[in-house]
Amino acid sequence: MIFDDNRGFVEALRESGDLVEVEKEVSWDLELGAISRLACEKDGPAVWFKRVTDYLDEVSVFVNPVATWRRIAIALGLPPTATVREIYEAYEKGEANPVDPVEVTEAPCKQVVRTGVDANLFDLPTPMLHEGDGGRYLGTWDLVISKDVDSGWVNWGMYRFMVYDAHHLTGFPRPTSHLGKVFQEHYVAKGKPMPLAIAIGTDPLSHFAAAATYALGGDEASLAGGLRGRPVEMVRCETSDLLVPAHSEIVIEGEVLPDRVGLEGPYGEYPGYRTGEMGNGILFRTTAITHREKPVLTVDATGYKDDSSTVTALSGALAIKRRLERHGVPVRDVYVPPEGAVHLAVMSVDYGGQEVARKVLQVLTSRRALLSKLFLVDADTDVFDMGKVLHAFSTKCHPANGIHVIHYEGRANTLTPCYSQAERASQKGATVLYDCTWPGEWSREWETPVKATLDSIFSQEVREKVLRNWSEYGFKQ
């Protein structure tokens, strides 16, 4: 089933056993964050907090929507037991068939409308997620809509927003993000405020599209329609001409001021660390808050194995695959495993060797370089099976000749924990590629070792016989 709103998705999670509903009162001040963090670290279910201190009956909080592959599968309309490969394939299919959104005039997100001074951000049960965060983060599992005034291009992204006071938020879109670029190039340059809408708790696949690694100028609303197999319904904002998903739980409308900054962060970030200090972020002035009755605030308990480790990793892996294909690399599959915090990718190729290794490294670091560890494996290694990848790395990667490093400046990931403050300031970094493929110049007949697995070292006759009689020998599976 494909869901039109977050409530339908939550219902499906309840049915599949992937939801815990907490009736006990919890505090928005760290308790909710600590529970949600542990739930991620245990690969546990999503959590719906029904009673949050100071907000007891009117609002609730739903955390970690898709932090496991089971929940990703459910969001994509697949059985919860779908394999990661099947999940990747379903996403790829949706992505290849975009569907434009439609505009509607009636929308659940307009059941309650508050504007001006009545739009008070403290009316929402925003959690203080981690000890040491700069403040309460309202925007985590969000969908942020902005428009380039010159071309009319609308961008969706997922960006964090911290409560600054009752009517302001601060945010940290990276300069390389589309929001960062649109704001700098089309608003700051002209001294104009940028209208912005932050939709919270809309249907899960629309959030996938917001978090996706997608081309500059690409239309994430149509990507969402493609993933859903039907259009997203959009409704006009109260205080700007932006369109927001009609089925959102909460919409914060406002504008980013071109000539002001506001303190933002630090934050327990997706790599799993708090790294920076409080700094200057963009300053957003709220003009309206609209929401459903009894709205459900959705939250990503950012950190180790959070929602980004599945959903950002998934779209990132497919973006890497497309890029390598465009550059003529004989790539088969790419996987970005959750434990690698979107810093590590595994890619299989039809043939490897030094030249392919160098090409991969160069292609994947020529623009913004968010990943810094790459594993290149032969096509007979299943990239989705990290045990097999570790085996290939341990046995096939030459400790001196198989390791390739490229250094760069001005495009490294400033959130990568192993970089020093100085490296981050100049966006200086490096990417290492472990070549776990057989050298191209080795004769396949007599130089390349033969893999001693059932698939590879036995004749078809023996293999088929063994498989045919497997249960007869007494094996259960």
Distance set, CA 17 to CA 7, 10, 11, 21 (Å): 15, 11, 10, 11
Contact of residue 115 among ligand FMN, Mn ion, none (CB under 5-8 Å per partner type): none
From the CB of 224, what's the least distance to Mn ion, in Å?
12
Q: How far apart are CA 72 and CA 64, in angstroms?
A: 11
Q: β-strand 233-236 against 243-245: which pairing, if any? A: antiparallel
Contact of residue 140 among Mn ion, ligand FMN, none (CB under 5-8 Å per partner type): ligand FMN
Q: How far apart are CA 50 and CA 296, in angstroms?
A: 9
Contact of residue 429 among ligand FMN, Mn ion, none (CB under 5-8 Å per partner type): none
Contact of residue 9 among Mn ion, ligand FMN, none (CB under 5-8 Å per partner type): none
CB under 6 A: which stretch of 31-39, 112-120, 306-314, 327-335 binds ligand FMN?
306-314
How big is the site for Mn ion, counted in residues (CB under 5 A)? 3
Write out the binding residues for ligand FMN, residues 151-170 only, by CB under 6 A: 155, 157-160
Planar angle of CA 34, 39, 41, nearest 5 degrees: 95
Contact of residue 435 among Mn ion, ligand FMN, none (CB under 5-8 Å per partner type): none
Q: Which is nearer to ligand FMN, 158 or 376 (CB)?
A: 158
How big is the site for ligand FMN, counted in residues (CB under 6 A)? 22
Binding ligand FMN (rule: CB under 6 A), the pick from 312, 372, 381, 427 is 312
Main-chain dihedrals φ then ψ at residue 96, nearest 5 degrees: -80, -10
Binding Mn ion (rule: CB under 5 A), the pick from 178, 247, 291, 321 is 178
Q: β-strand 428-436 against 373-378: which pairing, if any? A: parallel
Planar angle of CA 197, 203, 205, nearest 5 degrees: 100
Q: How far apart are CA 213 and CA 210, in angstroms?
A: 9
CB under 5 A: which stretch of 16-24, 136-144, 177-185, 321-329 binds Mn ion?
177-185
CB under 6 A: which stretch of 36-44, 304-312, 417-425, 458-466 binds ligand FMN?
304-312
Binding Mn ion (rule: CB under 5 A), the pick from 155, 298, 310, 365 is 155
Q: How far apart are CA 91 and CA 78, in angstroms?
A: 11
From the CB of 319, what's the least distance to Mn ion, in Å?
11
Distance of alpha carbon 306 from the chain centroid: 9
Burial class (CB in 10 A: 0-12, 13-18, 19+), 475: exposed
User: Does residue 305 touch Mn ion according to CB under 5 A?
Assistant: no
Residue 187 DSSP code: I
Task: Collapse the DSSP code of 215 into the 3-class scheme (helix H, G, I; strand E, B; otherwise coil) and give the result.
Answer: coil
Q: β-strand 194-200 against 233-236: which pairing, if any? A: unpaired
Q: Which is nearer to ligand FMN, 157 or 271 (CB)?
A: 157
Contact of residue 292 among Mn ion, ligand FMN, none (CB under 5-8 Å per partner type): none
**Residue in 300, 301, 295, 299 with CA at minimum distance from that of residue 124:** 295
Residues 438 and 354: beta-carbon distance below 8 Å: no
Q: β-strand 296-299 against 60-63: which pairing, if any? A: parallel
Contact of residue 177 among ligand FMN, Mn ion, none (CB under 5-8 Å per partner type): ligand FMN
Residues 173 and 282: beta-carbon distance below 8 Å: yes
Residues 203 and 245: beta-carbon distance below 8 Å: yes
Q: Which is nearer to Mn ion, 140 or 155 (CB)?
A: 155
Q: How far apart are CA 74 and CA 18, in angstroms?
A: 10
Instruction: Pinpoint the alpha helices (H) of 130-237.
Output: 178-182, 204-211, 220-228
From the CB of 416, what's the least distance to ligand FMN, in Å?
14
Distance set, CA 223 to CA 105, 119, 272, 454 (Å): 22, 31, 28, 41
Binding ligand FMN (rule: CB under 6 A), the pick from 4, 233, 249, 300 is 300
Contact of residue 211 among ligand FMN, Mn ion, none (CB under 5-8 Å per partner type): ligand FMN
Which single residue is written with the structure tokens 């990417």? 431
Write out the binding residues for ligand FMN, residues 166-195 only, by CB under 6 A: 172-174, 177-179
Contact flags string 209-248 toward ligand FMN, x per CB under 6 A: --xxxx----------------------------------
Give the residue at shortest CB distance from Mn ion: 178
From the CB of 161, what's the least distance to ligand FMN, in Å?
8
From the CB of 209, what's the least distance to Mn ion, in Å?
9
Residues 6+ apart with CB under 8 A from 191: 258, 259
Contact footprint for ligand FMN (CB under 6 A): 140-141, 155, 157-160, 172-174, 177-179, 211-214, 300, 302, 307-308, 312
Contact footprint for Mn ion (CB under 5 A): 155, 178, 214
